[in-house]
Amino acid sequence: MGETLSMALRATDTAGPRFEALYRSCAEDVFAYVFSLLRDRSAAEDVTAAAFERAFRKRRSFNALRGSERAWLFGIARNAALDELRRRRRSAGLVTDPEDPAWALATAEDQDAERRATVRQALAGLDARDRELIALKFHAGLGNAEIASVIGVSPTNAGTRIHRALTRLREACHATS
């Protein structure tokens, strides 16, 4: 009881600095993940900022027993991104940017442009669920259990889904090349 209380107090005292550290280590990954879901830079920026703000406001509700901080943060980002997708469905006016100019420019300068273009095409051809799993696995670097926590399924189910997504990505890459 006393130990739990002192842990909670310590967590309260260090919540601010810990959040900044989490932000510094995850900001790019969260943005990449949100962008993968929305495929719209402007919307991804808004949602990323909103996700971090939401996480900041709820930082004291984080419970280490329910998963890692990264999984918790990506869960918040996922909800924010899906809420944005729902808003879009309702308004049905905004069309996503098909291609990000800066992104295209960056990849064009790459030496392995052709191979990456193939991967980019394969990624674009994946459905949203597979794209999400690839982003969580490859960009965010989350473990299978963390991904399971983010998308709300069991670790076994998450492993199976990740494997399927990986298989589809590979097939898409081969088909494109």
Partner 1 sequence: MRRPDTTLDPLVAEELERLDAALAGSADADPGLEALVRDVRAEAPEMTPAFRGALDDRVRAGFPRARRFAWRPSRTLLVPALGAAATLLIAVAVIGLAGGGGGPGGSGGTGKASSSAGTVSGAAPGAASAAPPVTRESAVPQKSAPVAPPLPLTGGASGRQVERAAQLTLTSAPADVQDVADGVIRTAGALGGYVETSQISSSDQGGGASLRLRVPSARLDDAIARLSELAHVGSLTRASTDITAPVVSATSRLGDARAERDALLRALGKATTDREIASLRERLRLNRSQIAALEGELAGLRRRANMATVDVTVEGTGPKAGAGTGGAWTPKDALHDALRVLEVAAGVTLVACAVLVPLALLAALGALAARGLRRRRRDAALDAA
CB of 121 to partner 1, least distance (A): 10
What is the Cα 115 distance to its own chain's centre?
24
Interface with partner 1, residue 13, by CB under 8 A: no
Q: Which of residues 36-75 bind partner 1 (CB under 8 A)?
A: 36-38, 41, 44-45, 48-49, 52-53, 56-57
Interface with partner 1, residue 100, by CB under 8 A: yes
Cβ atoms of 114 and 129 within 8 Å: the answer is: no
Cα dist from 37 to 23, 40, 126, whole Å: 20, 9, 11
CA distance 157 to 131: 16
CB of 83 to partner 1, least distance (A): 7
31's CB contacts (< 8 A; 6+ apart) are 44, 45, 48
Cβ atoms of 35 and 44 within 8 Å: the answer is: yes
Residues near partner 1, by CB under 8 A: 16, 19-20, 23, 27-28, 31-32, 35-38, 41, 44-45, 48-49, 52-53, 56-57, 79, 82-83, 85-86, 89, 100, 102-103, 106-107, 110, 112, 115-116, 119-120, 123, 127-129, 132, 134, 137-139, 141, 143-144, 152-157, 159-160, 162-163, 166, 169-170, 173
